């Protein structure tokens, strides 16, 4: 009995581990690696070169640490008069300000005015000799503002959301990240890429038996930044019933839940990744360094031809037939 139980666990355990790591985002996705029957045909990309040129590239990813964050909340208020609407909005914003101060949260607030417009409704206009008509009449005002809240501690966001909720501000538009050491991160990536590039050059010199140091070359590089707001993907929870409804039965399908998850750039075709242990959403800096070598043999320049000078002579024939050469000064 123990042997049978062990055999059953040996078969089921890898399946359980596979399901645990795959996640719900891959359910119903025909392109996922778990359901792809052509997975064996997937190979690493190979870059071929002709006999006249050799291009060597190095690509990397840097998961950056953020120096601060800016959360944007959308607030909206409406009232019968302009003064009432403005006062209601100011009360909301003041609740957030005082809440941040009393909670000792280090944050700055910038209020961005979005719109302030009148609202209208339809009223029946009565006339004696005509049919009933509808006319727009002012009914109040609507004001919209955005609160830009800058903070340094990532854990402060939950407290800020609670404070905004108490002030009846529920719409968190987005959270932006920023870094004050971007140039430093770029220089670190350059240093890392140059080291790998030298190793690749040495490898090609050994494989091709070509001395690349004397070859003409051209270089190119490029940076690309991804922010967390660009890296979220949506998916719908996969759920399917195994019960077949009877004929003439009414079936009411329940709407599947749709949510989002953070999907950063993974180093599939990259040579290195820096700060790979970072697990929270953040900025990603991509870098590519490319060097092309001209493998054509240089032709020897022909020796310069010396300018030949023609020596001129003047010859005089006398009356009696004598030939004399005249000197040229």
Contact 275, 64 (CB under 8 A): yes
Residue 38's pLDDT band (boundaries 50, 70, 90)? very low
Give the pLDDT confidence score for residue 325 in this predicted structure.
74
DSSP SS3 for 232: strand
> Which of the two residues, 66 and 245, has the higher pLDDT score?
66
Distant-in-sequence, close-in-space partners of 97: CB < 8 Å, separation ≥ 6: 109
Taking only the tens place, the pLDDT of each residue in 88-141 is 999 999 999 999 999 989 999 999 999 999 888 776 666 666 666 766 667 889
Q: What does DSSP say about strands 323-326 and 272-274: parallel, antiparallel, or unpaired?
A: unpaired
| pTM of this structure | 0.70
Element (H, E) at 93: helix 82-102
Give the pLDDT confidence score for residue 269 in this predicted structure.
86
* Pick from 122, 158, 119, 121: nearest CA to 140: 119
Q: How many CA atoms lie within 13 A of 245 on its CB side?
A: 9
**Averaged over 202-224, what is the pLDDT?**
88
Give the pLDDT confidence score for residue 159 in this predicted structure.
94
Residue 161's pLDDT band (boundaries 50, 70, 90)? very high
* Pick from 233, 242, 238: nearest CA to 257: 238
**Averaged over 194-212, what is the pLDDT?**
89
Q: 10 Å Cβ neighbour count for 160?
A: 24
* Pick from 77, 73, 142, 139: nearest CA to 112: 73
Q: Is the pLDDT of residue 62 over 90?
A: yes
Cβ-count burial 215-229 (b if 16+ within 10 Å, e if not): beeeeeeeeeebbbe
Distant-in-sequence, close-in-space partners of 151: CB < 8 Å, separation ≥ 6: 68, 69, 71, 105, 106, 107, 108, 157, 160
**Mean pLDDT over each residue of the chain, to the nearest integer:** 80
Burial class of 189 by CB neighbour count within 10 A (0 to 12, 13 to 18, 19+): buried
User: d(Cα 8, Cα 10) in Å, to the nearest integer?
Assistant: 5
Output the six-digit token pair for 171.
């719409």
Helices (H) and strands (E) in the chain, counts: 4, 12
User: d(Cα 12, Cα 216) in Å, to the nearest integer?
Assistant: 59
Q: Is the pLDDT of residue 61 over 70?
A: yes
DSSP SS3 for 166: helix
Contact 121, 153 (CB under 8 A): no
**Averaged over 60-84, what is the pLDDT?**
94
DSSP SS3 for 245: coil
Residue at token pair 């890296």: 231
CA distances to 14, 16, 59, 170, 285 from 148, in Å: 48, 45, 35, 14, 25
CA angle 238, 240, 241 (to 5 degrees): 155
DSSP SS3 for 68: strand
Q: Is the pLDDT of residue 19 over 70?
A: no
Taking only the tens place, the pLDDT of each residue in 230-261 is 999 988 776 666 566 666 667 676 677 788 89
Q: Is the pLDDT of residue 13 over 70?
A: no
């Amino acid at each position: 009995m123990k042997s049978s139980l062990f055999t059953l666990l040996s078969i089921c355990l890898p399946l359980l581990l596979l399901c645990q790591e795959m996640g719900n985002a891959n359910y119903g996705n025909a392109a996922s690696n778990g359901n792809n029957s052509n997975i064996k045909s997937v190979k690493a990309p190979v870059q071929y070169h002709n006999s006249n040129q050799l291009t060597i590239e190095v690509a990397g990813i840097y998961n950056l640490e953020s120096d601060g964050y800016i959360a944007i909340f959308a607030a909206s208020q409406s009232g019968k008069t302009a003064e009432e609407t403005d006062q209601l909005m100011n009360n909301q914003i003041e609740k957030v300000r005082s809440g941040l101060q009393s909670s000792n949260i280090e944050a700055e607030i910038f209020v961005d005015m979005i719109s302030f417009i009148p609202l209208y409704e339809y009223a029946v206009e009565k006339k004696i000799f005509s049919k009933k008509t509808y006319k727009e009449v002012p009914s109040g005002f609507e004001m919209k503002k955005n609160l830009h809240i800058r903070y340094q501690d990532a854990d402060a966001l939950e407290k800020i959301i609670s404070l905004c909720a108490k002030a009846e501000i529920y719409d968190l538009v987005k959270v932006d990240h920023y870094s004050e050491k971007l140039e430093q991160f770029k220089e670190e990536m350059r240093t890392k890429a140059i080291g790998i590039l030298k190793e690749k050059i040495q490898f090609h010199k050994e494989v091709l038996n070509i001395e690349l140091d004397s070859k003409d070359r051209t270089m190119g590089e490029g940076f690309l930044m991804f922010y967390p707001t660009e890296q979220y993907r949506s998916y719908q929870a996969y759920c399917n019933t195994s019960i077949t409804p009877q004929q003439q039965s009414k079936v009411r399908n329940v709407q599947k839940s749709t949510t989002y998850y953070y999907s950063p750039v993974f180093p599939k075709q990259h040579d290195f990744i820096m700060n790979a242990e970072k697990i929270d959403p953040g900025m990603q800096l991509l870098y590519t360094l490319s060097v092309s070598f001209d493998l054509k043999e240089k032709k020897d320049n022909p020796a310069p031809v010396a300018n030949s000078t023609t020596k001129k002579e003047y010859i005089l024939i006398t009356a009696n037939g004598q030939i004399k050469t005249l000197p040229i000064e």
